[in-house]
Amino acid sequence: MQITQENVDAQNALLKIKIGTEDYASKFDQALKNYRKQVSMPGFREGKVPMGIVKKRYGKSLLADELNRLLNDSIQGYISENKLQVLGSPIPSDSHEEKGDWDNPSDFEFVYELGLAPELEVKINKKNKFDYNTIKVDDMLIDKQVAEIARRYGKLSDVEKAGKSDLLVGDFVELDENDEVKAGGIMNQSTISLDGMDKDVQKVFTGAKVGDEKVVDPHKVSRDHDDLARMLGVSHEAVHHLAGNVKFIVREIKHMEPAEVNQEFFDKLFGEGNVKSEEEFRAKIKEDLENGFAQDSDQLFKRDITNKLIEQYNPSLPDAFLKKWIQMTNEKPITAEEVERDYEQYSKGLQWQLIFNSLLSSKAIEVKQEEVVEKTKTLLASQYAQYGMPAPEDKELTEGAMKVLSNQDEGRKVYDMIYDEKLVDFVRNNASVKDKEVSYDKFVELASQG
């Protein structure tokens, strides 16, 4: 076997693989013998079909399997041996025809395209400037949270007319383009919470009584497509094609009476005697909000890091190769137009991965196995705490962590979590970071900028 590399440019290369009979003959013959043992054909006992017939009927398929295995192993071996940094995976070249006679197999030649990663050395120092935004937890924000908790622990009662924050129970009925009941359309009983809903929708339902029918845009009575799918009792995909209005027939109107903020309420939330006054309650709320917002701040900070480093280094990509590779390797058929539509987002993700890999290779960021185990144990212990249960002994907790990490997807989530934390710490310690306290609304505005 002979493999030669021809560089088209700095980020595109061709691999030419020449395979001789001696490279595959013995394994191909063995594959024919193995297959002959299991072939069953009329007129022959199982395993006794003449080799000539087996080869004629199944030889091309078995040869293709053997050559594919040989090609894959050889290409991966070449990439590893030559320490090539490839993007995607090698794909057969559509501008070079394979050489070889499948009817009378002898020598073959195949050509594969490679996409090569750019050389990249990422350094983060005081020249890099970032903002770290935190939400200012003021009295107004605490008031809102207190009201939300009181409402959450309140009591529902039936009322005659709907108010701006009431809960409606009723039937959704899909309508056609003329706002008539659509034959075979969606019908489902569900609820609508008017609290925090679009003001125009609130106006439609405020004052409604049991038995009233209201026509609305279904997308305006839900937070997102997942929420709408649950409301209508259909799949997430189905709501994408929902173009018309729906009729909502009011069956019940529920009013939430917020819980009274007193000692009984404090004991119910935090345990008897742990919070003894409204001042302590508000201090606890403030602490919980600040802890909760800390993760949001880290996520926004990481996004800022990602965007600025991509802008600074802008790693070049073999775009034409990658678009072709995406189309060829996608699990479901995908058009060139669809690839083009989503390519910018994909390429940004790949650029960031190259930048992050550079930081990993320079040992700027490292994650050790013992750190992953300890992090998983901490996550498990916090789950126990959420249910008011004490964490088990360290041995049992370690065993639980190892079980979680044995699941590839769960293990990857823990690794990603630690990598994100270490990235944030590394940038804070090495770059110029300005801490900024902003209002909740301003933070939401920054987060929504993408």
> Residue 348, Cα to own-chain centre: how many angstroms?
15
pLDDT of 330 > 70? The answer is yes
pLDDT of 312 > 80? The answer is yes
pLDDT digits (tens, 9 = 90+) for 158-203: 999 999 889 999 999 999 999 999 999 999 999 998 887 878 888 9
pLDDT at 450: 66
Sequential DSSP letters for 285-312? HHHHHHHHHHHHHHHHHHHHHHHHHHHH
Instruction: Please state, rounded to an integer, the average pLDDT across all residues of the chain.
Output: 92
Q: Following CA atoms 441, 444, 449, 450 in sequence, which dihedral angle do they give, to the nearest 10 degrees?
A: 170
pLDDT at 376: 95
Q: Minimal CA–CA distance to 24: which of 100, 112, 114?
A: 100
pLDDT of 10 > 90? The answer is yes
Q: Which CATH number fits the domain 155-257, given the four candidates 1.10.287, 1.10.10, 3.10.50, 3.40.1350?
A: 3.10.50
Say if CB 121 and CB 358 are below 8 A apart: yes
Look at the block and give the residue holding tokens 């590779």. Answer: 325
- Range from 34-43, 102-111, 161-170, 313-322 carrying the lowest mean pLDDT: 34-43
Q: Which CATH number fits the domain 2-116, given the four candidates 3.30.70.1050, 3.20.20.105, 3.60.110.10, 2.40.37.10?
A: 3.30.70.1050
Measure the CA–CA gap between 101 and 93, rounded to whole angstroms. 18
pLDDT at 256: 86
What are the sequence ranges of the domains in the chain?
2-116, 155-257, 277-447
- Strand, helix or coil for residue 96: coil
Measure the CA–CA gap between 311 and 306, rounded to whole angstroms. 9
- For range 21-46, the mean pLDDT: 86
- For range 415-435, the mean pLDDT: 95
Measure the CA–CA gap between 135 and 439, rounded to whole angstroms. 6
Measure the CA–CA gap between 370 and 152, rounded to whole angstroms. 40
pLDDT of 46 > 80? The answer is no
**Taking the CA of residue 107 as centre, how many other CA atoms within 13 Å lie in the half-sphere pointing to its CB?**
6
Q: How confident is the model at residue 62 (pLDDT cuts 50, 70, 90)?
A: very high
pLDDT of 115 > 90? The answer is yes
pLDDT digits (tens, 9 = 90+) for 234-290: 988 888 888 889 999 999 999 988 999 999 999 988 888 899 999 999 999 999 999
Q: 27 vs 21, 64, 257, CA distance in Å?
A: 11, 12, 77
pLDDT at 237: 82
pLDDT at 241: 80
Q: For residue 448, what is the DSSP state?
A: T
pLDDT at 165: 84
Residue 291, exposed/middle/buried by CB under 10 A (0-12, 13-18, 19+)? Answer: exposed
